[in-house]
């Protein structure tokens, strides 16, 4: 089979998709179920139908475009990504996997390939947490890791529930129908920009993702005692911010000494009350994000954090409340899917780097119900989620070609 990817068409489609946006180019803002998102969805649906694919949409708006295989009962080989974009984002995050997936299918069709397993392009709803405060809404529901009941409790910044928003956007059915039946997929592959600097730095054009890290997020609240910055003497203080500072540094130390480069911990938010120059901090709220590719190691970090909090509480006379917001498990890629990608790289003589995805993606949740792997292409300076995000046409086309080869291997 001689596969060829239409690079010019693919790049021009990425440019066209960029025009469905609420930001001035080159920035892209496309929040789920806004008019810009709905226009983009309808444009992509037309492209899929033009390519002869059968398009269906589930009640949360996940869109499936199927190329039926010769065995209608065989499990599906899936590919895809997302088209929603956080405010002031770039053109390539997610869209490369959607339009690259479509182009891969068109290339296979043009080469005369006849799949045994149906190949299906999937456009996930709301990979970004912008609107409902939770990432990967569509894939969590597909995999059943988020129940319909809990999804219905989510609302956006204006207080509109997921159900209100999706019904207004024209989706029908109930969220209970979104979960995929067991055994739906044979395999799933997601093409994506790396969103990190390694491929560019190593001058390697492709990354085969062997594992996806997953975050645990917590909110810590420190209750101390306020007072006048002049009046309360040092031995008498219960300064909530000093206690929080100790926890932050202990967390950094624990991550650095975990023994693995994949362990990372971040405190990104620190709210101080009452927040006055001459007032002792009485209360502090911290956000904590701990990520790892290994669940045991990450759980050990969480336990260390807990122990540190208890010892600082005792020593400083403050009270520390800890609230677990989420703790998704990391995932290993499926060996068969990794092999299909490696075989495709080798066939074309493309060097590749075995990698870890430190950001999480819809594939993390699809991994709960199917063997998955991801294919990364370089992006300039590792920039993502910003308007100057950039992936070169050659890199996008190369990734698409490898994706097409892998889909063929998996679907024959």
Chain centroid, CA 120 distance in Å = 20
Which is closer to Zn ion, CB of 93 or CB of 163?
93
> Could you give the maximum distance between any two Cα atoms of the chain, in Å?
83
Report in angstroms how near the CB of residue 97 gets to Zn ion at its nearest.
7
Three-class DSSP category at 223: strand
Which is closer to Zn ion, CB of 127 or CB of 239?
127
Report in angstroms how near the CB of residue 187 gets to Zn ion at its nearest.
20
Binding residues for Zn ion, total number by CB under 5 A: 2
Which is closer to Zn ion, CB of 98 or CB of 318?
98
Q: What span, in angstroms and rounded, lies between the C-alpha atoms of 206 and 312? A: 46
Encoded one letter per residue, x for contact with Zn ion by CB under 5 A and - for no contact, window 347-386 reads: ----------------------------------------
Please compute Rg for the chain using Cα positions: 23
User: How far from 166 is each of 32, 151, 156, 163, 171, CA to CA, in Å?
Assistant: 9, 12, 11, 5, 5
Report in angstroms how near the CB of residue 143 gets to Zn ion at its nearest.
17
Report in angstroms how near the CB of residue 363 gets to Zn ion at its nearest.
10
Report in angstroms how near the CB of residue 93 gets to Zn ion at its nearest.
4
Which is closer to Zn ion, CB of 136 or CB of 397?
136
Among residues 56, 41, 355, the alpha carbon closest in space to that of 205 is found at 355
User: How far from 29 is each of 22, 32, 162, 169, 394, CA to CA, in Å?
Assistant: 5, 10, 20, 17, 25
Cβ atoms of 108 and 407 within 8 Å: the answer is yes
Site for Zn ion in 89-128 (CB under 5 A): 93-94
Closest residue to Zn ion, based on beta-carbon distance: 94
Report in angstroms how near the CB of residue 194 gets to Zn ion at its nearest.
11
Encoded one letter per residue, x for contact with Zn ion by CB under 5 A and - for no contact, window 4-33 reads: ------------------------------
Applying CB under 5 A, does 138 fall inside the site for Zn ion? Answer: no
Report in angstroms how near the CB of residue 70 gets to Zn ion at its nearest.
32
Which is closer to Zn ion, CB of 94 or CB of 196?
94
Report in angstroms how near the CB of residue 123 gets to Zn ion at its nearest.
12
Strand residue runs (E) in 155-253: 185-193, 206-212, 214-223
Which is closer to Zn ion, CB of 94 or CB of 226?
94
CA-CA-CA-CA torsion for 300, 304, 307, 313, nearest 10 degrees?
-140
Which is closer to Zn ion, CB of 192 or CB of 298?
192
Among residues 220, 217, 230, the alpha carbon closest in space to that of 283 is found at 220
Decide: residue 341, CB within 10 A, 0-12 exposed, 13-18 middle, 19+ buried.
buried
At residue 128's C-alpha, the angle toward residues 127 and 130, to 5°, is 145
Q: Which stretch binds Zn ion (CB under 5 A): 18-26, 86-94, 204-212, 274-282?
A: 86-94
**DSSP at 182:** T
Report in angstroms how near the CB of residue 220 gets to Zn ion at its nearest.
28
Which is closer to Zn ion, CB of 244 or CB of 366?
366
Residues 6 or more apart whose Cβ sits within 8 Å of residue 368: 143, 144, 145, 331
Q: Which stretch binds Zn ion (CB under 5 A): 50-58, 88-96, 307-315, 393-401?
A: 88-96
Which is closer to Zn ion, CB of 93 or CB of 389?
93
Q: What span, in angstroms and rounded, lies between the C-alpha atoms of 173 and 59? A: 5
Q: Which stretch binds Zn ion (CB under 5 A): 87-95, 321-329, 373-381, 404-412?
A: 87-95
Q: Which residues bind Zn ion (CB under 5 A)?
A: 93-94
């Amino acid at each position: 089979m001689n596969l060829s990817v239409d690079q010019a068409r693919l790049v021009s489609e990425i440019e066209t998709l960029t025009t469905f946006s609420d930001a001035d180019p080159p920035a892209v803002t496309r929040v789920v179920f806004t008019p810009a998102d709905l226009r983009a969805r309808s444009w992509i649906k037309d492209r899929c139908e033009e390519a002869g694919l059968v398009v269906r949409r589930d009640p949360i708006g996940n869109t499936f475009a199927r190329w039926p295989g010769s065995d209608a009962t065989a499990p599906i080989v899936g590919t895809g990504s997302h088209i929603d974009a956080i405010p002031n984002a770039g053109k390539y995050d997610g869209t490369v996997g959607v339009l690259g997936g479509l182009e891969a299918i068109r290339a296979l069709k043009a080469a005369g390939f006849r799949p045994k397993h149906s190949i299906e392009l999937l456009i996930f709803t709301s990979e970004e947490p912008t609107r409902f405060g939770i990432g990967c809404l569509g894939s969590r529901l597909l995999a059943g890791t988020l129940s319909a009941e809990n999804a219905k409790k989510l609302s956006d910044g204006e207080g509109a529930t997921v159900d209100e928003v999706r019904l207004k956007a024209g989706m029908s059915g109930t969220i209970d129908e979104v979960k995929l039946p067991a055994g739906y997929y044979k395999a799933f592959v997601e093409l994506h920009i790396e969103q990190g600097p390694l491929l560019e730095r190593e001058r390697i054009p492709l990354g085969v993702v062997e594992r996806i890290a997953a975050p645990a997020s917590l909110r810590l609240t420190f209750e101390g005692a306020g007072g006048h910055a002049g009046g309360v003497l040092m031995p008498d203080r219960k300064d909530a911010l000093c206690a929080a500072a100790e926890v932050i540094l202990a967390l950094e130390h624990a991550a650095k000494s975990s023994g693995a480069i994949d362990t990372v911990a971040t405190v990104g938010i620190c709210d101080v009350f009452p927040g006055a120059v001459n007032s002792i901090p009485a209360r502090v709220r911290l956000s904590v994000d701990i990520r790892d590719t290994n669940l045991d190691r990450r759980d050990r970090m969480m336990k260390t954090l807990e122990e540190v909090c208890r010892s600082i509480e005792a020593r400083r006379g403050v009270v520390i409340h800890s609230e677990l917001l989420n703790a998704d498990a990391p995932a290993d890629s499926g060996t068969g899917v990794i092999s299909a990608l490696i075989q495709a790289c080798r066939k074309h003589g493309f060097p590749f780097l075995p990698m870890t995805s430190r950001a999480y993606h819809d594939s993390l949740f699809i991994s709960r119900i199917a063997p998955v792997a991801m294919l990364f292409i370089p992006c300039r300076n590792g920039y993502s989620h910003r308007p100057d995000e950039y992936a070169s046409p050659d890199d996008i086309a190369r990734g698409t070609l490898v994706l097409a080869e892998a889909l063929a291997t998996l679907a024959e």
